[in-house]
Structure 1
Amino acid sequence: MRRPDGTPIRVLVVDDEPALAELVSMALRYEGWQIRTAGDGAEAISIAHEFRPDAVVLDVMLPDMSGLDVLARLRSLESRVPVLLLTAMDSTEDRIAGFTAGGDDYVTKPFSLEEVVLRMHALLRRTGVSADTDGAQIVVGDLMLDEDSHEVSRAGEYIELTSTEFALLRYLMRNPRRVLSKAQILDRVWDYDFGGRSNVVELYISYLRKKIDSGRAPMIHTVRGAGYVLKPAG
Structure 2
Amino acid sequence: MFNLLIVEDDERIAALVKRGLEEHGYTVTVAYDGISGRKLALNNAFDLIITDIVLPKMDGLDLCREIRSEKPGIPIIMLTALGTTDDKVEGFDAGADDYLVKPFEFRELHVRIRALLKRQNSNKNTQGFLLKYADLEMNLHTKIVKRNNKEISLTPKELNLLQYMMQNPERVLSRVEIAEDVWATTFDTGTNFIDVYINYLRKKIDRDFDTKLIHTRPGLGFIFKKG
- Equivalence map 1:1-234=2 (5 Å): 8-128=1-121
Alpha-carbon distance in structure 2 between the residues aligned to 1:9 and 1:88: 27
Structure 2, unpaired ranges of 5+: 125-227
Alpha-carbon distance in structure 2 between the residues aligned to 1:79 and 1:102: 9
Alpha-carbon distance in structure 1 between the residues aligned to 2:94 and 2:40: 21
Equivalences, count: 125
Alpha-carbon distance in structure 1 between the residues aligned to 2:114 and 2:52: 18
Q: Return the offset for 1:76.
A: 2.3
Identity %: 35
Aligned to 1:149: none
Alpha-carbon distance in structure 1 between the residues aligned to 2:7 and 2:123: 21
Q: Alpha carbon RMSD of aligned pairs, Å?
A: 1.9
Structure 1 length-normalised TM: 0.51
Aligned to 2:170: none
Amino acid at match of 1:80: G
Q: Which runs of 4+ in 1 moved over 2 A?
A: none
Structure 2 length-normalised TM: 0.52
Alpha-carbon distance in structure 1 between the residues aligned to 2:84 and 2:103: 15
Structure 1, unpaired ranges of 5+: 1-7, 132-234
Name the SS for the 1:35 alignment partner.
strand
Q: Return the offset for 1:65.
A: 1.9
Alpha-carbon distance in structure 1 between the residues aligned to 2:23 and 2:87: 31
Alpha-carbon distance in structure 2 between the residues aligned to 1:129 and 1:85: 22
Q: Return the offset for 1:130.
A: 9.9
Structure 1's 84 and 129: CA in aligned 2 closer, same or farther, altered over 3 A? farther
Name the SS for the 2:121 alignment partner.
coil
Alpha-carbon distance in structure 2 between the residues aligned to 1:15 and 1:33: 17
Name the SS for the 2:78 alignment partner.
strand
Aligned to 1:190: none
Structure 1's 67 and 129: CA in aligned 2 closer, same or farther, altered over 3 A? farther
Greater gyration radius: 1
